[in-house]
Amino acid sequence: MNSNSSLCGINRRALLSGLAMLPALPGLPFSAMAQTQTGVSLGSWNEGPAKQAIFDFVRATTDEGSSKFVPLQERIATFDQDGTLWVEHPIYSQVVYCLDRVPALAETDPKLKDVEPFKTVLSGNREAIAKLSLHDLEKIFFATLSGMSVDDFEAEVKKWLASAKDGRWKRPYTELIYQPMLEVMQYLRTNGFKTYIVTGGGQDFVRVYSERVYGIPPEQVVGSAEGTKYGYQKDGTPFLTKEPKLLLNDDNAGKPEGIHLMIGRRPRAAFGNSDGDRQMLEYTGTGDGARLMMLVMHDDAQREYAYGPAQGLPETKVGTFSQSLYDEAKKKNWTVISMKNDWKRVFAFD
Amino acid sequence: MNSNSSLCGINRRALLSGLAMLPALPGLPFSAMAQTQTGVSLGSWNEGPAKQAIFDFVRATTDEGSSKFVPLQERIATFDQDGTLWVEHPIYSQVVYCLDRVPALAETDPKLKDVEPFKTVLSGNREAIAKLSLHDLEKIFFATLSGMSVDDFEAEVKKWLASAKDGRWKRPYTELIYQPMLEVMQYLRTNGFKTYIVTGGGQDFVRVYSERVYGIPPEQVVGSAEGTKYGYQKDGTPFLTKEPKLLLNDDNAGKPEGIHLMIGRRPRAAFGNSDGDRQMLEYTGTGDGARLMMLVMHDDAQREYAYGPAQGLPETKVGTFSQSLYDEAKKKNWTVISMKNDWKRVFAFD
């Protein structure tokens, strides 16, 4: 639906920047996910304009006496995932998944061992992997994200999530969720909002863990999506196969396009952290009445990461928060969340 | 996602069969919609196996003591629209909309008056219109369903719904809703099921009235869908334009494919009335535990229509219910609803 500058929301530069820091992946068992979505009202937020903006928005939209009251059915809030709900540095978790899947793929189809780009990935030579072309990466994404039944894909992702760990925190990726954002989602839901994830990442990938991790059911996950093909097993049992065909590239302009396709309503609130979320926030902000647009700024190298050229932070290839986005946010009164100043803690395990 | 045998779920044969019976469209004001979804438990159903199947299914899936209990979040029920929730004879309402839009289109772009197929449609010669090729019809569909902003499209459909009337009942199309099906949807919702429309018709078209008419919000309407394109007006305001590009052909195999894309869960219950619903019912029926698959059979020429070769009813081009579908239903214990025997009344105004 938009340009093909990225595949499943993952562009090549973003991939390259993280490869050098890829963690080893010990096969440790999955430890229990933090369950902290109960009854907390922004307890992990410091007092300040960001917390206040959330409270003000909810108060205005849920007070029947307010001129900004929003009927229950129109209360839609959308959240980007990578960098907004969980850690995206040094590399998107889904890219790690795709690379991790290559050995199993070559096991099933040994001739891949001598075919590029699989040969390079299997070599483990990160410098060589980092030099793969976008076309090569597409081959890896499609080979690891399609060509199997949707049930098999779900099982593979579950298995991976149970063992893969982030290199810095030595924890499953699904524990690297921002506690303050879990609280915002819960707070909005308590006030009648339907919360959606709108991610450049793979829709089927995120749906595997969205309910358990974010409390967001699969039908409220909008993401980059491949087509599927209906067919029958030999015994007549029908099943769906994931096809190597991108139906929705849910990043940049693809986000409002995906929102229209999958939700059909303009959101009242939207949360992002990078240039890929710009159009979603613009689209959200265009409607009448009360609107809440927020951008997470990663300015906390100690507790998480500091990146993005806005306010002089180091430039980076994953989750670019450009100066022009920052300027647009200021001009349009979008709220920039300072991870460093606005968040009392970052993770549930902090 | 599947073959291009139909466009937006509307195939040429279906169109042709209905053209001869196209109603005149007086500009009468829209009268209030029947609002009957409150507190009724299948009151418009006669006692019998169909009503019993619904009760049994709901009892089994909502009783925590039952081995067939289904957790709340997995309670998904999908409903075809044309012929399952509202009248589809003699012609799909959305096709009437497309043809009705041609004069306004020619008003805006006068050169269309001399260009086929628009010239033929403007002639009002139904025999000639009935002979238009599929390619011609595609031109009409894309011209009338795309090339405008999503907001303008919604406004046009609303305007049309407020004045267009069915030729037999002289009522707005949105009053030709099957009261027993409204009651099933309400009954399922009362028992924690999320109800979805899964239609071969246009997703954006059905979303305009789904909440008002069926109590189903736009985000729970899955239908044939065109892509949209994000852009900016001169003053910088962003908007979405409907593009003449079919993303999802939500009929036949496209129904389970669309369900995976838009919902991401296998339904527990599915309702249809024609061969176009076969794969949705098969897919629904394949999962574990309690499942409910139902097919509305149009065998009531007096109160509605009688058509479909099953059980010797007249063959027809709209909503074909073939003998082979009937045989599959019997073999797999799907429930066939006899409109004549199972429904105490058909419409709210009966």
**What residues in A contact B240, CB-CB < 8 Å?**
256-257, 260, 283
Show residues of chain A in contact with B2, CB under 8 Å: 230
Q: Which neighbouring-strand residues pair with A240?
A: A230
Residue A247 has its nearest CB partner, among B228, B247, B264, at B247
- Write the residue in B247, B263, B283 that is nearest to A238 by C-beta: B283
CB contact at 8 A, B294 and B53? yes
**pLDDT top residue among B262 and B27:** B262
Spell out the long-range contacts of A307-310 with Cβ–Cβ below 8 A and sequence spacing 24 or more: A307/A89, A308/A274, A310/A336
Residues A194, B219: C-beta atoms closer than 8 Å: yes
Mutate which of B74, B199, B257, B282 to test chain A, going by most A C-beta atoms within 10 A?
Answer: B257
Pairing of strands B76-79, B194-202: parallel
Total residues belonging to chain B:
350
Distance from CA of A32 to the nearest CA of B (A): 21
Task: Characterize the bridge pairing of strands A238-248 and A221-232.
Answer: antiparallel
| CA angle B232–B234–B236, rounded 5-degree value | 50
Which residues of A have a CB under 8 Å from any CB of B?
1-2, 73, 76, 150, 194, 203-204, 207, 211, 217-219, 221, 225, 227-230, 237-240, 247-248, 253-254, 256-257, 260-265, 279, 282-283, 286
| Contact assessment for residue A246 and residue A224, using Cβ atoms and an 8 Å cutoff | yes
Is residue B121's pLDDT more than 60? yes
A281/B285 Cα distance (integer angstroms): 40
Nearest CB to A219 within list B203, B247, B263: B263
Report d(CA A90, CA B274) in Å as an integer.
Answer: 51
Q: In the predicted model, what is the mean pLDDT of residues B287-292?
A: 92
The answer to whether the Cβ–Cβ distance between A229 and B262 falls below 8 Å is: no
Q: How many CA atoms lie within 13 A of A63 on its CB side?
A: 11
CA atoms within 13 Å, Cβ hemisphere of B145? 28
Question: Which residues neighbour A99 within 8 Å (Cβ) at sequence distance 6 or greater?
Answer: A22, A121, A129, A140
B-chain residues near A218 (CB < 8 A): 263-265
Concatenate the DSSP letters of all residues of A1-58 into one string. Answer: ---SSSBTTB-HHHHHHHHTTPPP---PPPPPPP---SS-SSTTBPSSHHHHHHHHHH
In which band, very low, low, confident or very high, does the pLDDT at B13 lie, cut at 50, 70 and 90?
Answer: very low
Would you say residue B145 has pLDDT above 60? yes
> Which region among A173-187, B270-284, B317-331 has the lowest average model confidence (pLDDT)?
B317-331
CB-CB: which of A76, A228, A279 is closest to B260? A228
Q: Are B275 and B321 in contact (CB under 8 A)?
A: yes
- Could you tell me which residues are beta bridge partners of residue B306? B299
**Residues A257, B229: C-beta atoms closer than 8 Å:** yes
Q: Which residues of chain A have pLDDT under 70?
A: 1-40, 317
- Residue B10 reports pLDDT greater than 60: no
Provide the pLDDT for residue A8: 41
Residue of A2, A265, A282 lying closest to B218 (CB–CB)? A265
What is the per-residue pLDDT for A35?
A: 31
Give the rounded percent of residues in chain B with a pLDDT score beyond 70: 88
> Which pLDDT belongs to residue B1?
38
Candidates B219, B250, B280, B334: best to mutate against A (most CBs of A within 10 A) is B219
Find the closest chain A residue to B256 by CA distance.
A230
DSSP state of A306: B
Long-range CB contacts for residues A288-292, cutoff 8 Å, separation at least 24: A289/A61, A289/A68, A289/A70, A290/A57, A290/A60, A290/A61, A290/A68, A290/A70, A291/A57, A292/A53, A292/A54, A292/A57, A292/A77, A292/A268, A292/A335
Q: Which of B204, B126, B209 is nearest to B172 (CA)?
A: B209
Phi, psi of A326 (to 5 degrees): -60, -40
Largest Cα–Cα separation, chain B: 69
Whole-angstrom distance, CA of residue A155 vs CA of residue A161: 10
- A61/B277 Cα distance (integer angstroms): 40
Distance CA B100, CA B150 (A): 19
**A131, two tokens:** 């030099």
- Asked if B238 and A204 come within 8 Å (Cβ–Cβ), the reply is no
Contact A283 B238 (CB under 8 A): yes
CA–CA dist A184, B326 (Å, integer): 50
Cβ contact A192:A62 at 8 Å: yes
Whether A1 sits inside 8 A of B261 (CB atoms) is no
Closest-CA residue to B273 (of B281, B283, B265): B281
- Cβ of B230 within 8 Å of Cβ of A150? The answer is no
CB A310 within 8 A of CB A328: no
d(CA A319, CA B258): 30
Higher local confidence (pLDDT), A135 or B35: A135
Chain-chain contact of B256 with A238 (C-beta, under 8 angstroms) = yes
Residues from chain A that touch B270, judged by Cβ atoms under 8 A, are none
Closest partner CB to B230 (pick from A239, A253, A262): A253
Cβ-based contacts under 8 A for chains A and B:
103
In 3D space, the residue among B256, B261, B262, B328 whose CA is nearest the CA of residue B295 turns out to be: B328
Binary contact (A228, B279; C-beta < 8 A): no
pLDDT at B105: 92
- Asked if B73's CB is within 8 angstroms of A211's CB, the reply is yes
Q: What single letter denotes the amino acid at residue A231?
A: G
Q: What pLDDT does residue A37 have?
A: 32
CA angle B109–B152–A262, rounded 5-degree value:
125
